[in-house]
Amino acid sequence: MHEHGAVGLPLGFTLLRLLLLISVTVVAGWALARPFTAGGPLTRRVVTAVAAAGGLVALLVADASWLPGPAAVAVIAVLLTPPVLRGEVPVPARVVLAVVVLAATAAALWFTGPPLSGAHIVLLAGFAGVGWAALCPPTVVVRVVGAGLAVALLAGLAQVTLAGHLATPPAGPVLTRVVVAGEPVDVLVAPHRPGWNVVRVPDAPLRVGNARDALVEAGPRPGTTGRWALVWLDPGRGSLWLGRGEARATVPVNPGRDPWTGPDVRGPDGTEYADAALAALLAGRPEPPWPALTDADVRALRAQVSALPGKFALVSDSSTRSARAAAEVRAEAARRGRVIVPDAPDVLVVGGEATGGRVHLAPWLRPPDLDTPDGRRYARVLADAFPGTRPTRPGLAAWRGDGD
């Protein structure tokens, strides 16, 4: 039983990009030329069909996991209805056209999606609006609105092009969804380079590997949600295998030819990097930097040590940042006359996990502030794209692009 998930391979993405460019050219060109030409019913049918196709392609290119399901259904219905209607429908078309323009303007100005979601909304609204404008009599108002939508289409296309959303996806972290044993499974692969990779799946029994007979059980990691597995990926195109019971599924992967040059993802901070990479991927940003101890972290740790009682415990792990943080904590404790003992009731955690007593978390281990606009957007998009994933402070930083 093989069930294959869809991944945007270069050839498929190139075709989508070509269709989008052709659609924008045809639809925007017709809308701009309408005041100067007389188009018949056939022209109108062609324009509405091209606009519908362009809108669907724009929706695919946007990878709009930030768009709620009902809204996506409504967008598709608005795009596909004009080609079905054969003649002019002045009143309904004008009403829908007005609603599309107003709703898109409001959403683009105040939308709680990731960066560049506004540009993708403008593209969708441009295609939908021109499709409905073609069903309106060519009055002055309709022609002006149509020309405005044409300009919006061109501007939206220019923005997503300059931002690199129409470039062939390079090797890098991949998020996809595949069906295993009849149930959808979200899969994150990072860094998606030749060599060792971390693979994240939901919190359910699953096995992961690079061959049908080389599957390992995905398991929990300290301080994270979901389940994780380590998988070796060879250069070039291949398949990632997932198993549940007797069922199998494959996900196409193409990590390229350049090996991963960053730290070993098998270490304790590999999962934190993957969480941050997921947030950056959802926000359309470059890969985040590897977790590192910053000057601000050092100052915060020193303040924590000064606020702790005379004796406290220290919990760390083998990651580079945790080791450096533990050294800073020990130096500050010695300077302030504090004593680090294993069984103290106050525990300072700079890596790994601690339970019981009074736990004090290092800055990067604390929950993120989700009361800000960026925090709310990050939490909502993360929950839609990978249900069950807990927002993290490094993930929020990657979402905002801190350190880019």
What pLDDT, in 10s, does the model give residues 110-151?
544 455 567 778 888 888 888 878 877 778 887 888 888 888
Cis status, amide bond into 10, omega within 30 of 0? no
Q: Domain residues for 88?
A: 10-162
Same domain, yes or no, for 15 and 158?
Answer: yes
- Residue 128 placed within a domain: yes
CB atoms within 10 A of CB 376: 12
Question: What is the mean predicted confidence (pLDDT) over 245-271?
Answer: 86
**Which 3 state secondary structure label does DSSP give 157?**
helix
Residue 264: both structure tokens together? 């070993």
**pLDDT category of residue 105 using cuts at 50, 70 and 90:** low
Same domain, yes or no, for 151 and 46?
Answer: yes
Question: What is the mean predicted confidence (pLDDT) over 81-101?
Answer: 69
- Residue 318 placed within a domain: yes
How far is residue 199's CA from residue 232's CA, in Å, rounded to a whole number?
A: 10
Q: Check residue 303 and give its pLDDT.
A: 95
* Residues in Cβ contact with 340 at an 8 Å cutoff, skipping those fewer than 6 apart: 311, 312, 313, 314, 329, 330, 333
CA gyration radius, the chain: 26
Lowest mean pLDDT among 82-86, 241-245, 323-327, 350-354: 82-86
Q: Check residue 88 and give its pLDDT.
A: 66
How far is residue 134's CA from residue 142's CA, in Å, rounded to a whole number?
A: 9
pLDDT at 64 over 90: no
Question: What is the mean predicted confidence (pLDDT) over 253-277?
Answer: 87
How far is residue 181's CA from residue 364's CA, in Å, rounded to a whole number?
A: 37
Stretch (H or E) spanning 12: helix 10-33
Lowest mean pLDDT among 66-70, 240-244, 368-372: 66-70
Same domain, yes or no, for 196 and 252?
Answer: yes
Same domain, yes or no, for 198 and 260?
Answer: yes
- What is the chain's mean pLDDT, rounded? 82
Q: Check residue 196 and give its pLDDT.
A: 94
Hey, which of 23-37, 85-99, 175-189 has the most confident mean pLDDT?
175-189
What are the start-end ranges of the H helices in 284-392? 295-307, 320-336, 373-385
Which residue type occupies 117?
Answer: S
Same domain, yes or no, for 359 and 262?
Answer: no
- Residue 272 placed within a domain: no
What pLDDT, in 10s, does the model give residues 348-358?
999 887 777 79
Distance of alpha carbon 190 from the chain centroid: 13
Q: Check residue 2 and give its pLDDT.
A: 31
β 183-190/207-209 pair status: unpaired
- Cα of first residue to Cα of last residue in the chain, in angstroms, is 43
Which residue type occupies 209?
Answer: G
More confident residue, 214 or 62: 214
**pLDDT category of residue 5 using cuts at 50, 70 and 90:** very low
* Residues in Cβ contact with 261 at an 8 Å cutoff, skipping those fewer than 6 apart: none
Same domain, yes or no, for 293 and 213?
Answer: no
Residue 84: both structure tokens together? 């079905």
Q: Check residue 100 and give its pLDDT.
A: 66
Stretch (H or E) spanning 175: strand 174-180
Residue 287: both structure tokens together? 């890969």
More confident residue, 67 or 326: 326
Q: Check residue 361 and give its pLDDT.
A: 92
Q: Cα dist. 358→212, 347, 361 in Å?
A: 46, 6, 10
- Residue 178 placed within a domain: yes
Task: Work out the widest C-alpha separation in the chain, in whole angstroms.
Answer: 88
- Residue 279 placed within a domain: no
**Which 3 state secondary structure label does DSSP give 96?**
helix
pLDDT at 94 over 80: no
Place of tokens 């009902």: 70
pLDDT at 102 over 50: yes
β 238-244/247-253 pair status: antiparallel
Same domain, yes or no, for 364 and 253?
Answer: no
**Which 3 state secondary structure label does DSSP give 104?**
helix
**Which 3 state secondary structure label does DSSP give 375?**
helix
pLDDT at 158 over 90: no
Number of structural domains (the chain) is 3
Q: What is the CATH number of the domain that holds 256?
A: 2.60.40
Same domain, yes or no, for 63 and 149?
Answer: yes
Same domain, yes or no, for 322 and 392?
Answer: yes
CA-based nearest residue to 13, from 72, 75, 79, 63: 63
CB 362 within 8 A of CB 393: no
pLDDT at 63 over 50: yes
Place of tokens 């070993």: 264
**Which 3 state secondary structure label does DSSP give 402?**
coil
What pLDDT, in 10s, does the model give residues 195-223?
999 999 999 999 999 988 889 999 998 77
Question: What is the mean predicted confidence (pLDDT) over 243-265?
Answer: 86
- Residue 273 placed within a domain: no
What pLDDT, in 10s, does the model give residues 375-392?
998 999 899 888 888 999
Q: Which conformational region is residue 44 in: left (phi greater than 0), alpha (psi within -120 to 50 degrees), or beta?
A: alpha
Partners of 195 in the beta sheet? 233
What pLDDT, in 10s, does the model give residues 29-48?
888 888 777 667 788 788 88
pLDDT at 177 over 70: yes
How far is residue 103's CA from residue 120's CA, in Å, rounded to a whole number?
A: 14
Cis status, amide bond into 252, omega within 30 of 0? no
**pLDDT category of residue 278 using cuts at 50, 70 and 90:** very high
Same domain, yes or no, for 92 and 151?
Answer: yes
Q: Cα dist. 319→189, 227, 264, 383 in Å?
A: 20, 19, 10, 28
Q: Check residue 42 and give its pLDDT.
A: 83
Same domain, yes or no, for 211 and 96?
Answer: no
Classify residue 266 by burial, with Cβ atoms within 10 Å: 0-12, 13-18, 19+: exposed
